[in-house]
Amino acid sequence: MRAKAAVITATVYLMIYSALSAAGYNYPVVLAWYLGSPFIVLAMVYIVLKDNRRDYPELADGEEWGYRDKSKDELGVF
């Protein structure tokens, strides 16, 4: 699954859960959605972190951290 699809799926799931909860829907259904939400969020995080479809440059020697797809010049902060 792509990272973008995982984020959209998790967002829709949580929005439906919120709507069901706010509407006072059947308690067992809302409870089931609530118990499933941590797994949805953890799966989304895992998919986003493991999505390696794009080729990113490695950090140079002496660099401890950086954006993989932006250079310092593009950020305009440094």
* pLDDT (0 to 100) of residue 12: 96
pLDDT at 73 over 90: no
pTM equals: 0.67
**Mean pLDDT within 8-23:** 95
pLDDT at 77 over 70: no
pLDDT in tens, 26-70: 999 999 999 999 999 999 999 988 887 777 667 677 766 656 666
CA-based angle 74:76:78, to the nearest 5?
Answer: 115
Q: Are 20 and 30 spatial neighbours (Cβ–Cβ below 8 Å)?
A: yes
